[in-house]
Chains A and B, each alone.
Chain A
Amino acid sequence: MNTELSDTTYAKATPAPDRDGAPLLEIRGLKIEGFADEKWNPIIKGVDLTLHRGEVLGLIGESGAGKSTLGLAAMGFARSGVRFAGGSVRFDGMDLLAMPERRRRKLWGTRITYVAQSAAASFNPAHRLIEQTVAAAVREGLKTEAEAIADAKALYAQLQLPEPDRIGDRYPHQVSGGQLQRVMTAMAMSGRPDLIVFDEPTTALDVTTQVEVLMSMRRIVDEFDTAAIYITHDLAVVAQMADRIKVLRYGEEVEEAPTREMLEHPKEAYTRSLWSVRSLRKPAEPSEDVVLSIQGVDAAYGNMVQVLHDISVDLPRGRTVALVGESGSGKSTTAKVVTGLLPPSKGEILFEGEALPPELKQRNKEQLRRIQMIYQMADTAMNPRQTVGEIIGRPLTFYHGLKGQALERRVVELLEQIELDAGFYDRLPGELSGGQKQRICIARALAAEPEIIICDEVTSALDQIVQEGILKLLMRLQKERGISYLFITHDIATVEAISDEIVVMYQGRVVEQGLKDRILSPPHAEYTELLLSSVPEMDPDWLTHLLEERGQDETAAGA
């Protein structure tokens, strides 16, 4: 229970842009370069940034936009192999880039602090959490060790960590990821900094854990009125945390605006494209014509841990069934059972009413051809030493015996179907963009002319606009060819976009299943409710409302 916080402070106050005159942080014309391929390449190409006391700025952008580099630059820090090439960073009137590192170090850890993405890797395994929490404040003489420890325990309590008096005595590997992320926030807060840089602090967490961590971070930032830079690629998350949002792309600013304005009236086409996937929504179509049926399947790795408990799912022809759940829910394992990589210990898989042999080795070519798979990481799903022609051509030769000219013609046809052209025939995977790679993987699956394609998180690793393109392509192919998708994902927005039916999984069990509209509208099963309500929405008030709702009945949440 926390007594320090009054419930009224939870609501996000929107500070006026110029509260105390001079800004806390002022970045002007910043240029940063990184060393690669034997030369210096620009990463940040002249960015301005202004942050006032108590204000939270969201930095958003796709992978490679330079947002982490910019976040560290706000501290006057450059990783090795990265250098400042121009511009200035002024913090509280001091020029961070001009001063010697010795003086910057005085600021780091106390006045400017950092919360990293991977808490598990960023804590030193050799020291207790409490030592690491208070180290900087004690080093700079802000508090005595006893005061700092007492303060850290109070912070732990405010961050709703379990056993706040004792958790600090543990070592990093003894604490879960969501808790570590909160301890790291306490560490950042220990010296009562003016500025905290949050670098994708919840990206590695599951959605239900993420929401708890977000809640505690926002509370504490509000409570101490700390300025913050919040870096993320997730617009819905940043909407909850930030007063203003800055969009970055290729190391340049696209636009910057107060959060509400940015969400409601984005000026640039690129900004609009960032959440375009959410506008995609296919109406659910019921069907009774089942092509694949998973019947009462149990499965275990080795003989030890049972990971699937009595899974039964029907996949109708030409429809999409989404398997939804967090990590460890068993959705990927279900895919393994269907493909024969993991024979079930109980139950069976019916294909067109006939039982499939449980093991991959026992299945014949025809059975293998009819179920294809697309992976999350297109990078690792294609042999980097084979050309696009070889990758798509192999199933054509293997299953259909195509050779020579006929083979080449068919590969080009498939390339056209995935909206690429014959010019890609000779390329290696390393020469393709992320979206193009995933398209080649789709073409490889299509080449087999399958009835079913298992899509394992196929859009999770892609940037928003590319996701949309891939989802549209998949839907078009389904319409044209009547392919059924078993679509594995943790992303509810994707589920809404593409599925007909939804199967919610939790700890190896099916929690709920049915048509999309029925699952997504109340009443929900308890876990479905938690899952759905934890998915951040674009509404900046979403977290505030959720806090109020959940605040009623649960306070101490274990991550």
Chain B
Amino acid sequence: MTDQTESYSAAGEVAQLRTRRSRRERMWIELRKAPPTALLGLGIILIYAFVAIFAPWLAPYGEAEVLAQSYAPWSAEHPLGTDQIGRDILTRLIYGARNTIGIAFITTLLAFAIGVSLGLIAAINRSWLDQVISRGVDVLMAIPSLIFALMLLSIFGSSALSLILIIAVLDSTRVFRLARSVAVGVAVMDYVEAARLRGEGLAWVMRREILPNIMPPLVAEFGLRFCFVFLTIAALSFLGVGIQPPTADWGTMVRETANLIQFARFDLKAGLTPLMPAAAIALLTVAVNFVVDWFLHKTSGLRDEH
């Protein structure tokens, strides 16, 4: 129990010392190390966001303005031609960014609000409540979500509101599963037990101990779910049961102009017209996927070599 001769100091132990940097500095450093695909993705997302926000100022015409003859070819006035009732396609593409992305974004937010809160409750409670929610989710997930969505839309009718609600509820099942499983992983940690032993309430444990530690996987999942929701809504609109005219929407636009593809042999530009909105959808999902891929790689510390 007496002091040994060697001079041992706890503070002097070698730890992994990190230079303290502000959040902005750290983000900048990360960005400079990011692979080109991720930077490309980020750039594309920013452009889409810009177009969606400033659509009324960017678009040459009004969203549902009928201007010229139908199926007008590409020209100076109508850079991408007009659609089957003579609306400017470029204008509708720009407004489509706002409508399609906006609805998908709101839907994803709602799905997360439902899924994450239920997931956290189930992870902490781990009793009958967890059982009830988890089994319910199992059943909902046993029906393919596009099919379920189609069925519910046939019952409730297609409107933006029912679309958002139906997809959000169906998609929240997947968010719930993920949130629950990562939260269960955190909830068994000793620091959560320590907080409970201290006498902390449920709200504090959820907000301060668990939520900050499940954020990285949830952020990544938000990106992936957004893609999924975005594609589902585009598919439904393409099938004619999603976003309804005259709202400009990319999925609907593909369906409306699909016939033009037959004319590609005579006018390649006309043939490309229906591919424009489809490409707009594809480009955004590719961009989000690239960014999420990079983010997952960074946060999970998951490297392929093991």
Contact = CB atoms under 8 A, between A and B. Distances in A.
Interface of A: 35-36, 38, 79-81, 269, 273, 276, 280-282, 339-341, 360, 363, 365, 368, 372-373, 375, 377, 380-386, 394-395, 398-399, 418-421, 423-424, 426, 430-433, 435-436, 439, 444, 448, 465-466, 468-469, 472-473, 475
A340 B199 CA distance: 11
Nearest to B13: A433
A377 B11 contact: no
Q: Which 10 A-B pairs have the closest CB atoms?
A: A81-B305, A433-B15, A381-B190, A385-B212, A433-B13, A375-B190, A368-B199, A419-B10, A383-B191, A80-B305
A80 B191 contact: no
Given A80-B306, A432-B15, A426 B20 contact: yes
B199 A365 contact: yes
Given A375-B190, A420-B11, A439-B10, A384 B198 contact: no
Contacts of B190: 375, 377, 380-381
Interface in B2-17: 4, 6, 8-11, 13-17
Contact of A341 (B193, B209, B303): B193
Interface range, B side: 20 to 34
B197 A339 contact: yes
Interface in B192-206: 193-194, 196-200
B33 interface: yes
A381 B9 CA distance: 23
Contacts of A424: 11
Contacts of B18: 430-431
Given A380-B189, A383-B213, A419 B15 contact: no
A431 B11 contact: no
A380 B189 CA distance: 6
B1 interface: yes
Given A360-B197, A383-B213, A395-B198, A466 B1 contact: no
Contact of B191 (A372, A380, A432): A380
Given A35-B303, A280-B1, A432-B15, 5 more contacts: A38-B33, A281-B1, A373-B194, A431-B16, A433-B14
Nearest to A431: B18
Contacts of B1: 280-282, 472, 475
Given A341-B197, A360-B196, A431-B17, A383 B209 contact: yes
A81 B4 CA distance: 41
Contacts of A398: 198-200
Interface in B172-231: 189-191, 193-194, 196-200, 208-209, 212-213
Pick the most buried of B9, B11, B16: most chain A CB atoms within 10 A of its CB.
B11
Contacts of B208: 383, 386
Given A282-B1, A435-B10, A381 B305 contact: no
Given A35-B305, A80-B306, A431-B17, A469 B8 contact: yes
A472 B9 CA distance: 12
Contact of B9 (A35, A419, A444): A419
A104 B190 CA distance: 45
Interface in B269-306: 303, 305-306
Contacts of A368: 197-199
A365 B199 CA distance: 6
A81 B306 contact: yes
A436 B1 CA distance: 20
A324 to B, nearest CB: 21
13 contacts: A80-B306, A81-B306, A273-B6, A276-B4, A280-B1, A282-B1, A380-B191, A419-B10, A431-B15, A436-B15, A439-B10, A448-B198, A469-B8
B194 A381 contact: yes
Interface centre among B16, B212, B305 (most CB of A within 10 A): B305
A398 B198 CA distance: 8
Contacts of A80: 305-306
B10 A420 contact: yes
A436 B194 contact: no
Q: Which of B4, B14, B199, B305 has the most CB of A within 10 A?
A: B199
Contacts of A281: 1
B17 to A, nearest CB: 6
A360 B13 CA distance: 37
Contacts of B200: 398
A433 B10 CA distance: 9
A430 B197 CA distance: 23
A374 to B, nearest CB: 9
B55 to A, nearest CB: 38
A269 B6 contact: yes
Contacts of B193: 341
Contacts of A385: 212-213
Nearest to B3: A472
Contacts of A475: 1
B303 to A, nearest CB: 7
Contacts of A431: 15-18
